């Protein structure tokens, strides 16, 4: 395994995924049609973050060897990944601290708010879009322990069970809130966890898919493309069903169809043959920087242009791309900038 450069299709897909994440947070079609905007975010855009989990997992577990005698190497690879993600998360938590204070100033500072921030810092992100990083770290640890100690089959059963529970909570939240007894249990769960879209219920299933892509026989390009097309059609039907029964919200994200869709998408990306070029390394770095930085610009632009969401989306992309390009270029002189990506 020579590293990430062997799979330029993955780098391209991650960059496109970053653009879709920006759309989730800027609602580009909200002024044209709120219902279409919700449907767009609930289908195409919801592929992005699971794909990030799958890709990150694939490259980590490509280095993990479960055979006897490789324990030290495995732990070193795990520690290196967690350290890199931890530094990235802490750096951006500091950068977003003024925005965090701004949020709390708007609602009023309180002891319960402080406790909520501490909970979110470890489970749901120090700022709302940064949730991916602690979720990835926690999910990686869960899957690593399950896989190295009990094997792939046991890990799949546990991760599948966690995702199914999260699916029931996330998708049917409007239903649980209206039931007399269940609403109390649901309220307590959300009070304690904040959300089930986290590293415990959401991330492990997709991290397991990345693990499987690294360890199991790969699906060829034709079959993976067909599988992804069918899975994506099922995703559209699933989202349509949730909208029809009245449970679809902008927080809905744990769809059942996402699991096979991510499985086939990852195999498709790994099977695509694209000549490797240095530009793909830039795309990989740019995708990370756009993901973590875009709220810096989107938050202010949405305040300035509250009724021009498509303009906000395009402007956010432009500012984020310029920022990413500058950070990558200047990191050659200032090595500490690499902590940001």
List pLDDT tens digits, range 154-193. 999 999 999 999 999 999 988 888 888 888 888 888 888 8
16-38: average pLDDT:
96
Position 102 pLDDT exceeds 60: yes
Confidence of residue 67 (pLDDT cuts 50, 70, 90): confident
Whole-number mean pLDDT of the chain? 93
299-327: average pLDDT:
97
Predicted pLDDT at 226 = 98
The share of the chain scoring above pLDDT 70, in percent, equals 99
Half-sphere exposure in the Cβ direction for 303 (13 Å, CA): 5
Position 88 pLDDT exceeds 90: yes
Domain ranges of the chain: 1-42+277-341, 67-270
Predicted pLDDT at 288 = 96
Predicted pLDDT at 179 = 82
How far does the chain reach from its first CA to its final CA, in angstroms? 22
List pLDDT tens digits, range 239-290. 999 999 999 998 999 999 999 999 999 999 999 988 888 888 889 999 999 9
Q: Which letter does DSSP use for residue 126 in this model?
A: S
Predicted pLDDT at 32 = 92
306-321: average pLDDT:
97
Position 5 pLDDT exceeds 80: no
The pair of structure tokens assigned to 162 is 């966690």
Position 2 pLDDT exceeds 50: no
Rounded to an integer, what distance in angstroms lies between the CA atom of residue 262 and that of residue 259? 5
Residues 233, 217, 167: CA angle, nearest 5 degrees: 40
Identify whether the C-beta of residue 132 lies closer than 8 Å to the C-beta of residue 49: yes
142-154: average pLDDT:
96
Residues 6+ apart with CB under 8 A from 232: 43, 257, 261
Identify whether the C-beta of residue 172 lies closer than 8 Å to the C-beta of residue 160: no
Which pairs from 39-42 meet CB under 8 Å and 24+ separation?
A: 39/239, 39/243, 41/250, 42/239, 42/248, 42/252, 42/253
Which pairs from 305-308 meet CB under 8 Å and 24+ separation?
A: 307/31, 308/31
Q: Which of 1-10, 209-218, 243-252, 266-275 bottoms out in mean pLDDT, i.e. has the lowest?
A: 1-10
Predicted pLDDT at 3 = 42
Residues 6+ apart with CB under 8 A from 11: 4, 280, 281, 283, 284, 287
Q: Higher model confidence: residue 180 or residue 4? A: 180
Predicted pLDDT at 277 = 83
Predicted pLDDT at 4 = 44
Residues 6+ apart with CB under 8 A from 292: 88, 92, 129, 130, 340, 341
Confidence of residue 1 (pLDDT cuts 50, 70, 90): very low
Confidence of residue 59 (pLDDT cuts 50, 70, 90): very high
Instruction: Give CA separation, 290 vs 15, 69, 109, 226, 321, in Å.
Output: 9, 40, 30, 30, 6
The pair of structure tokens assigned to 308 is 């021009």
Residues 6+ apart with CB under 8 A from 114: none
Predicted pLDDT at 283 = 92
């Amino acid at each position: 395994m020579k590293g990430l450069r062997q799979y330029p299709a993955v780098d391209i897909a991650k960059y496109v995924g970053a653009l879709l994440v920006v759309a989730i947070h800027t609602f580009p079609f909200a002024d044209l049609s709120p219902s279409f905007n919700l449907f767009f975010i609930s289908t195409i855009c919801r592929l992005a973050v699971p794909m990030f989990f799958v890709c990150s997992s694939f490259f980590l577990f490509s280095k993990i060897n479960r055979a006897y005698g490789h324990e030290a190497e495995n732990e070193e690879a795990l520690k290196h990944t967690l350290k890199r993600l931890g530094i990235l998360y802490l750096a951006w938590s500091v950068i977003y601290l003024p925005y965090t204070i701004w949020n709390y100033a708007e609602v009023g500072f309180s002891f319960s708010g402080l406790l909520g921030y501490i909970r979110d810092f470890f489970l749901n992100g120090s700022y709302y879009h940064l949730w991916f990083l602690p979720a990835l770290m926690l999910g990686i640890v869960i899957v690593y322990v399950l896989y190295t100690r009990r094997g792939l089959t046991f890990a799949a059963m546990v991760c599948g069970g966690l995702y199914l529970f999260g699916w029931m909570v996330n998708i049917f939240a409007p239903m649980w809130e209206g039931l007399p007894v269940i609403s109390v249990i649901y309220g307590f769960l959300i009070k304690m966890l904040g959300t089930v879209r986290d590293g415990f219920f959401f991330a492990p299933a997709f991290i397991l898919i990345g693990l499987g892509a690294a360890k199991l026989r790969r699906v060829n390009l034709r079959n993976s493309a067909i599988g992804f097309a069918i899975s994506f059609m099922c995703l559209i039907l699933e989202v349509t069903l949730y909208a029809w029964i009245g449970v679809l919200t902008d927080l809905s994200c744990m769809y059942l169809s996402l699991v096979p869709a991510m499985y086939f998408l990852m195999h498709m990306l790994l099977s695509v043959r694209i000549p490797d070029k240095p530009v793909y390394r830039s795309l990989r770095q740019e995708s990370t920087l756009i993901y973590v930085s875009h709220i810096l610009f989107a938050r202010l632009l949405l305040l300035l242009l509250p009724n021009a969401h498509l303009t906000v989306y395009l402007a956010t992309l432009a500012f984020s791309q310029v920022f990413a390009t500058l950070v990558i270029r200047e990191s050659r002189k200032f090595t500490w900038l690499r902590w940001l990506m």
